[in-house]
Structure formats: structure tokens, C-alpha cells
Amino acid sequence: MQTFPAIRSSDLSSLPGAGAAFFIPRTQLTFPKKLFFCHAKYAESGNAGLHNLIVAPANPLVAEKEEAKAVLTLFLKKRGLSNAVAAITVDKSGLFIDHLVSRLHSVHKNRYLGGSRQELTTLEIRNALNPYLETLYEEFGDILVDVVENFPNPATEERSAENLSIPSLEEEPVVPVSAPITTLNSKKLKALARLTDDGLTGKPPPHIIYLTALGMEIEVIKEVTSKFPSFAYYSLDRKIKPVVEVLLDLGIPKSDIPTILSKRPHLCGVRETEKLLIPTLTYLKNLGMDKKQLIKAIRRFPALLTCSRQKLESSIDLLYELGLPAENLGKVLTRGPQILGLSVETLKARAKYFHSLGVDVGSLLYRHPTIFALNIETHLKPLMEFFLERGFSTSDIASMISRFGSLYTFSLSNNIMPKWEFFSTMCYPKSDLVKFPQYFGYSLELRIKRRYAIMRESGVTLSLHRLLRLSDADLDEVLKQKMEKHVG
């Protein structure tokens, strides 16, 4: 899926879809070193710093490989892939499975050094691999599935039984050397070349001609292909057209199709469109979403269509448990469909965080569903700490969030801080911000500073709410009346 659909995402969002329509031979691919040296803490390995990859022994235990496959499959399904798509992805990811097994040998190296071959338990394997997969998901977001499917042979030389070995206790772990970051991915180059020459007729493939006629610019197609090379090999009749027709039948304007496909090219990788996309649309309609709401939701979050039925049901059941009335579900999914791309565990964690502040989670879900897609550590906690350091109480912050959930979507350095600094020079108490946190939603230069200067020149004072919310004409009139009353 596109946006593991960053894998960025954060958003969380969802994962890349099924593979290409044509078989492409595996090549020696190169990825940035960060894929092999992810910053993550693993209690199991005893390392609090960088993870060193130890090369796995030849012929790893069959049980370990099967367990690694099971862990990866479950991980992909939790992030929205259907059973079929997750299975296809795992089947195509043999080298990555080997990499996961080598990860096991790194975490539990004492079990393998000195000839010990005591088999790991299922729990030990899951505890070793899940944190690592979570870290990769944070690194790569929506393109994680593509990374997994095209995982490179990490060694610089040809992989063979002779050059794979287990280091002794005295030796440093063997760390594979990745190729330079600037090295171009050969598969990506071939995919980009195919956009203008299919290798048979010397013309672009039929689906590229079809997409450009649909209004998708070739530069956009190149950008999509660069991130998701399989897109260059999709069949027009079996992949592209069925998806486009489903979208058009729903009522999505033709002009919106290119944007949707560029956001989520993995939609075109879905096999048996009638068995996945149409049932998903029917399910959402039965929940109370009308056609207009569905169109808006898909525009905002195309990955919604590639979420499995099980994923949708578990997420929606949780929304009900968190206090969202069933009659409000359609509106919430229209405003913030991204929350269905989150894992149930992630959604629970963010709901727990808001609940700890004293916020009504059900009400917050209804009024500001998009903030549930924000990361606790990078978005939610820093804002909380910022206001606590400036003398606001937890209940003050909870009130501000409940009144104006969009507060969390603003940049702390570029928005919140400059506006707070100016607010500190104004004649208002901090309690006015608690009552009217929407203050942070107005332009500092074009509205806040300008209107405050006008008010100060008039010699009268308006509440922060009235100063910023009134139209220019009404503001002039109110100030005039206040001035006349003051003079009188």
C-alpha cells in the first residue's frame, strides 16, 4: 500500500498493495544505510543504541522462517492489508524474511554462538521482531511494503553458504556494508524507462496512455513510479480500468481520479476489484455514509478502500467503545477517514492519552477526528509541555483541546510560539486563551497584530473573542460605539 500507504505515515497510516502484473527478476537493489541501522531500543538485545545486523547462518531453522513470516503477515494485516494482499507481499519477500531471521540471531546471539541451536519460542520471536518492524514503519511509512518486497541482499559480494558465518564471542558483529546512497535503484530505472517505451512497440504502455488521457500528467506518473516501481507494470484491463470504473461509478469526478491514484497507486494493485473495493464501499454505505460523504472520504484518504473488512470492523467497534454515537460515524469518517488507517493499538493509545488529560474522547472524536492521527511523542506531548511550562494547568489545556482540537495541527515553532510571544505583550490574561484557543488559528500579521493595533489606537478594549471573530465592518462599528460611550 502506499501511504505503510511512509510506513510516513506515521498514518499510519496504511500499506502498499499487491505486486505488479508482470514478473520482474530480482536485482541487486540498494537502500539507504538507515534501513540497516535504525535507531531503536530493544530490551531483548540489551542494546540501547544502534542495531547491528549479524549475518544469519546458512540454512536457518525452518521454524524460525515460518514464525518470521507469520509475524510479518500479522503486522501487515494490522495496518490495513487484507489477508490476500498480506500473503502475497510475504511470499514475494524472501530476502526480507532472511533479514528478519538474522535479526533474531542478533537479538538472541547467545543462543547461537558456540554451536547452541536451542529453538526460540513464538513469544521470543514476536518480541524480537515486532519492535523492529515498528521502527521500519516509522522510517518508511507508506512505502514500507515496497521496501519489504524489494529488500536487497545486504552483502556486497554474492551471497553464498561459504561467506555466511557466525562470529565468535570475541569477534565484533558482522555488519553488512550498503552501497552508496546515491546509487540508483536498477528496478526504479527500468520502471521509469518503461513509461515511455514498453520494450515491444517503442511506445508507452497502454495504461500510461490511458492515464495521461484521463488527465494524469506524465511528471506525476514518474513521481509515483519512482516511489512505487510496480506501477509501471500494471495491466490496463486487469488492474487500472476496473479501479477507475469503480471510482467513476461511485460518482467521483473524472478530474479527481489522477489525484486519488497518485496518493494511492496501490489501489491499482488490488486483485479482484469486485471482491474487495465494492464490498468495502457497500459496508461503509451500510454504516450510514451517503455518496457525498464517501466521495469526500476517498478523496482525503484513498487508502480507505484497501483496508480489509476485519480492519474496518475492529476500528469502528473501537470508535463506538470510545463514546462515538453511531449516528455520528458518517460525519467523523468524512472529516477524518485517516483514523481507519491507524492500528487499533495506536488508536487506543491516543484515546488513553486524551483521557488522561480529562478530555471527553467521544466528543473530541466527533469534533476533531484528525488529531487522533497525530503522533503522541512528536505532536501531542510537546504542545502539552509548552503550555505547562507557561503556567497553564492540565485542565486548562484539556479545555483548550476540547474547544479547538486543531491546536495540535499547528507548528509549535512557526505558529504557537510566535503567537504566544505576541500574546504576552497584549492586555489579556491567560484565561482568555483558555476560553478562546482559536486565537492560534488566526494570522499573526494580517489579523492579530493589525486588529490589536487598531483597538489600542481607539482607546477602548474588546474581548479577545470579539476582537478576532468580528468582520472588519462589524469591528469598526463596535469600536465606534465603544469610543462614543467612553467619551460620553
Mean pLDDT of residues grouped by 10 in the chain (488 residues)?
Answer: 37 34 34 40 35 39 79 82 75 82 77 58 81 73 70 36 28 33 60 84 88 91 86 88 90 91 83 74 89 91 85 92 91 90 88 90 90 85 93 93 88 92 95 95 93 92 93 91 78
SS3 state of residue 47: strand
Amino acid 157: pLDDT? 28
Amino acid 295: pLDDT? 92
Amino acid 174: pLDDT? 32
- 349: Cβ contacts below 8 Å, ≥ 6 apart: 376
Burial of 239 (0-12, 13-18, 19+ CB in 10 A): buried
What is the rounded distance in angstroms from the CA atom of residue 94 to the CA atom of residue 92? 6
What is the rounded distance in angstroms from the CA atom of residue 356 to the CA atom of residue 360? 10
What is the rounded distance in angstroms from the CA atom of residue 264 to the CA atom of residue 4? 11
Q: Are 295 and 251 in contact (CB under 8 A)?
A: yes
pTM of the predicted model, to two decimals? 0.57
Three cell numbers written together for 415 = 505558529
What is the rounded distance in angstroms from the CA atom of residue 467 to the CA atom of residue 460? 11
Going by C-alpha positions, the residue among 90, 97, 123, 93 that lies closest to residue 108 is: 123
CA-angle at 383, arms to 14 and 325, nearest 5°: 55
Three cell numbers written together for 285 = 454505505
Going by C-alpha positions, the residue among 76, 80, 78 that lies closest to residue 88 is: 76
SS3 state of residue 38: coil
Three cell numbers written together for 29 = 537493489
Burial of 256 (0-12, 13-18, 19+ CB in 10 A): middle
